């Protein structure tokens, strides 16, 4: 299984999702590839935002080694499942992917918890630590659901 987590900057939400899912994959010794990317280009090569790093570490997940990258259309071929943090990420990715877009692989992350409700993981960038903690909890629950669904 190859899973890609996507947000806008690839410094706040999707690195959290990558780190949380990777830890669950490692704990269960699953042979999965987990990665993340942003639809934007501002933070290519940047480490995760300090509040994402802090909240993750408090929950035992070290994401300090991750670096931002931008989504490329070939990601639609490489990955089996692509999860978007919010609707804008979904539509931006569809534009980037062009003819490579494959809707059968793509969904909002929170669809794993609330199917068909089109719920967003809110962008915490510029908000206080409490918002990052709330985002972490949503991501953690959704990643647990992914493991239950595919981690047989």
Catalytic residues: 7, 13, 123
Of the pair 1, 44, the CB lying nearest ligand 4NP is at 44
> Can you say whether the dihedral through the CA atoms of 136, 148, 110, 49 is positive or negative?
positive
Residue nearest to ligand 4NP (CB): 9
Strands 33-38 and 2-7, by their bridges, are: parallel
Among 11, 51, 139, 142, binds ligand 4NP (CB under 6 A): 11
Under rule CB under 6 A, residue 123 binds ligand 4NP: yes
Contacts of 135 (CB under 8 A, 6+ apart): 12, 13, 16, 55, 121, 122, 124
Among 12, 66, 93, 96, binds ligand 4NP (CB under 6 A): 12
Under rule CB under 6 A, residue 17 binds ligand 4NP: no
DSSP code string of 35-50:
EEEESSSTTTTPPPPH
Which residues sit at the interface with ligand 4NP, rule CB under 6 A?
Answer: 7-13, 38, 42, 123, 125
């Amino acid at each position: 299984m190859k899973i890609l987590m996507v947000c806008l900057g690839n410094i706040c939400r999707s690195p959290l999702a990558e780190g949380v899912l990777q830890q669950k994959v490692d704990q269960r010794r699953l042979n999965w590839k987990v990665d993340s990317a942003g639809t934007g280009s501002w933070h290519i090569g940047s480490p995760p935002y300090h509040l994402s790093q802090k909240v993750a570490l408090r929950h035992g997940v070290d994401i300090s080694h991750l670096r931002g990258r931008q989504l490329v259309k070939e990601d639609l071929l490489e990955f089996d499942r692509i999860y978007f943090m919010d609707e804008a990420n979904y539509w931006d990715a569809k534009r980037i992917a062009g003819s490579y877009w494959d809707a059968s692989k793509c969904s909002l992350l929170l669809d794993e918890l609330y199917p068909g409700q089109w719920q967003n993981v809110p962008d915490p960038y510029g908000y206080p630590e409490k918002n990052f903690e709330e985002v972490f909890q949503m991501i953690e629950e959704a990643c647990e659901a992914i493991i239950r669904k595919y981690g047989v």
